[in-house]
Chains A and B, each alone.
Chain A
Amino acid sequence: MADLQITYRDALKEAMREALKRDNNVVIMGEEVGVWGGTYAVTRGLYDEFGGHRVIDTPIAEMGIVGVATGAAMGGMKPIAEIMTINFALVAIDQIVNNTAKIHSMFGGTMRAPVVIRTAAGWGQLAATHSQSFEAWFAHVPGLIVVMPSTPYDAKGLLTTALYSQNPVIFIEHSRLYGEKGAVPEGEFRVPFGVADVKRAGTDLTIITYSRMVHVALHAADELVKQGIEVQVVDLRSLRPLDWDTVLNSVRKTHRALVLTEDWMTYGVSAEIAARISRDAFDDLDAPVERLTQEEVPLPYAPNLEQLSFPDEARVVEKVKAMLA
């Protein structure tokens, strides 16, 4: 079927609409998902199309939302629990970690809880409690699948896979990507978990990244090419499971690795990736694995300070050049 140019937001919506049509066991529950149409407008129109019994506005009660969705999943349903932003997932973290992630193993594989927990990372002068990147917290936990798409294509394909999965999936979107457009096939298709995507091929250095930072890396790569430097950009797409083959093969080709993330450095996603590359591709490395991440501060409101907190294109370019010098 033909490709459409649609936004990341609409790609997600399409995956959910198809699932709602296909499977009566699918429901969406979350704050403002119905009448409001989703605070990031991802579910807009679904309430009118499918009704309030399938696109369900909840009280402000994240622990309840995740717990109820998990219980309904145990009861044979396929709930999508939307947590407005990843910051509020902290209110639900006991349910996610001690129930959702544990049901299958704790009961010896006799039960399953295939809930999809959709949430959004992101920032924008929202200050310390509303601008956080907690993917490492979830990716740390055995029993969860954690995905973080960067493009409309991946968003739809990964969400469709999540909606067919028998496992709990933490599906982390990014508020600053919702308006990004890209080519997406019409109709159903799946992007598998644990398969990274080389978003740009290059020979001099590998940038390993995911979500919004993929775009920062690609812009930096455009700039670097003008200076004669070819970087390869590996988009992990899912953090758990993680496609080590693609990461290591890329590093074996370029001999240099930069891990680029929006979360904090200490104990973050980049720590895990750097450690694995350093061990498994040690002999192939021409330089130590480097990392660029968010500054280790609670995010301040002031726009000038906030801008200083994240790696941008210029900082990536500078870092890559320093690594190749």
Chain B
Amino acid sequence: MVAPATVAPTVAQNRTPQITRETALHWLEQMMLIRRFEEAAEYAYTQKKVGGFLHLYIGEESIAVGSVAAMQPDDDIFTHYRDHGWVLARGVDPKPAMAELYGKATGLVKGKGGSMHFASVEHHMWGGYAIVGGHIPLAAGMAFSHQYLKRDRIAFCVMGEGATNIGMFHEALNMAAVWKLPVVFLVENNMFGMGTAVERASATSDIYEKAAAYRMPATQIDGNDIELVYQTIQEFAERARRGEGPQMVEAMTYRFKGHSMGDPQRYRTKEEVENRRPDDPINRWEKKLIERGWANDALIKEIFTRVDKQIADAVQFAEDSPFPEPSELYTDILVEE
């Protein structure tokens, strides 16, 4: 057995709430905003207003919302193409985000990137990347710049479990470990890379064990428990910030939708998906809020109504926005000097 060279995580035992009711309600609202944003995007896709690939994050929202809550506002995020949740959790306005999906000039990156390339530098959100694993060294490089320039910032690198089988992952982890870079590698283990179940593609299904080869502290948590995500990321981020080098968190979750649109999903049964429904992070958090006496049905309804309005406005904004001017085809290729 390979035992990860890791400090045993303390967070799992420490379950007393550290957050305020206000924060708790905010998280619920953010998760619901992501959910409704993606449902609207999915609908727009069926209307052919959104094209290309559209990778939905439905069922995984707690990871982005809980993690971002544990970061400093100027910490830097790099993510894979399943990026809507990360951008919205980071506080980016859903209007330009939706407009990007519509390929409009008012989009986050002027309609040039689409779903897979959401980014907002002002939010320290350095983008979604579509080549599996390609962004992992970039996050390490951002962390290198923080270390070299003695900035009190750390980098977060979000990836799927499937990405941990590609060379770039291993090269980046090794360099980050050798140089003790302030970076947290966050693996969203949603059990599949496209249609390939984790155990069919990875020598270990417990991805966090891979950190052991690089002597990197690592843990595996229930990613659909938003509070646990928050506490874990806080602990691991602080270690990276204190100069203890790179860290890894593996958040276990489940993707309710297909990999992208038009996935025939021959690799799993409908029952399997249904059996995971009770684990929906939004429902779980709602229940917990009610249990704690922090919310009731009326308040939850009020929050969801507010979210619906925000999404309706975002869709309207995207619909009303113009497509990029034809001349935009030739801009932004090289920096003007």
Contact = CB atoms under 8 A, between A and B. Distances in A.
Contacts of B114: 125-127, 301
Interface residues of A, number: 36
A309 interface: yes
A309 B329 contact: yes
B16 to A, nearest CB: 40
Interface in A40-74: 57-64
B333 interface: yes
Contacts of A90: 131
Interface string B98-136: 001001110000011110110000000000011111100
Interface stretch (A29-37, A154-162, A246-254, A279-287): A29-37
A304 B110 CA distance: 13
A32 B330 contact: no
Contact of A301 (B52, B167, B266): B52
A303 B103 contact: yes
B317 interface: no
B163 A297 contact: no
B147 to A, nearest CB: 27
Contacts of B330: 295, 297
Interface in B293-333: 323-324, 326, 328-330, 333
Contacts of B111: 300-302, 305
B72 interface: no
A298 interface: yes
A310 to B, nearest CB: 11
A308 interface: yes
Nearest to B330: A297
Question: Interface of chain A, helix or strand or loop or mixed?
Answer: loop
A306 B211 CA distance: 41
Interface residues of B, number: 42
Contact of B112 (A32, A64, A124, A302): A302
Contact of A32 (B104, B134, B195): B195
B167 A87 contact: no
A216 interface: no
Given A35-B266, A304-B324, A61 B167 contact: yes
B326 A302 contact: no
A308 B167 CA distance: 36
Contact of B324 (A91, A297, A300, A309): A300
B11 to A, nearest CB: 30
A138 to B, nearest CB: 18
Nearest to A131: B52
Contacts of A303: 51, 103, 323
A60 B132 contact: yes
Contact of B167 (A37, A39, A63): A63
A126 B52 contact: yes
Contacts of B112: 127-128, 300-302, 305
Which residue of B166, B167, B168, B333 has the most chain A CB atoms within 10 A of its CB atom?
A: B166
Nearest to A300: B112
Interface stretch (B85-93, B196-204, B239-247): B196-204
Contact of A60 (B103, B105, B165): B165
B267 interface: yes
B193 interface: yes
Contacts of A305: 103, 111-112, 323-324, 326, 328-329
Nearest to A309: B329
A129 B329 contact: no
A308 B194 contact: no
A301 to B, nearest CB: 3
Contacts of A31: 194, 196
B194 A127 contact: no
Contacts of B117: 127-128, 301
B52 A127 contact: yes
A17 interface: no
Contacts of B194: 31-32, 36, 39
Interface string B159-192: 0001101111000000000000000000000000
Contacts of A301: 51-52, 100, 103, 111-114, 117
Contact of A61 (B105, B165, B200, B267): B165
Given A58-B201, A303-B103, A35 B333 contact: no
Contacts of A63: 166-167
Given A61-B166, A124-B52, A304 B196 contact: no
A176 interface: no
A31 B162 CA distance: 11
Given A31-B194, A57-B196, A126-B53, A295 B130 contact: no
B266 A37 contact: yes
Contacts of A129: 129-131, 134
Nearest to A37: B266
A130 interface: yes
Interface of A: 31-32, 35-37, 39, 57-64, 87-88, 90-91, 124-130, 295, 297-298, 300-305, 308-309
Given A36-B195, A127-B113, 13 more contacts: A31-B194, A57-B201, A58-B201, A87-B131, A91-B131, A125-B51, A126-B53, A130-B52, A301-B111, A301-B117, A302-B112, A302-B328, A304-B326
Closest 10 CB pairs of A and B: A301-B114, A125-B52, A59-B165, A125-B51, A302-B103, A302-B111, A36-B195, A59-B201, A300-B112, A304-B323
27 contacts: A32-B195, A36-B266, A37-B264, A37-B266, A57-B196, A57-B201, A59-B162, A60-B162, A60-B166, A63-B166, A87-B131, A125-B114, A128-B113, A129-B130, A130-B116, A130-B130, A301-B51, A301-B52, A301-B103, A301-B111, A301-B113, A302-B105, A303-B51, A304-B323, A305-B323, A305-B329, A308-B329
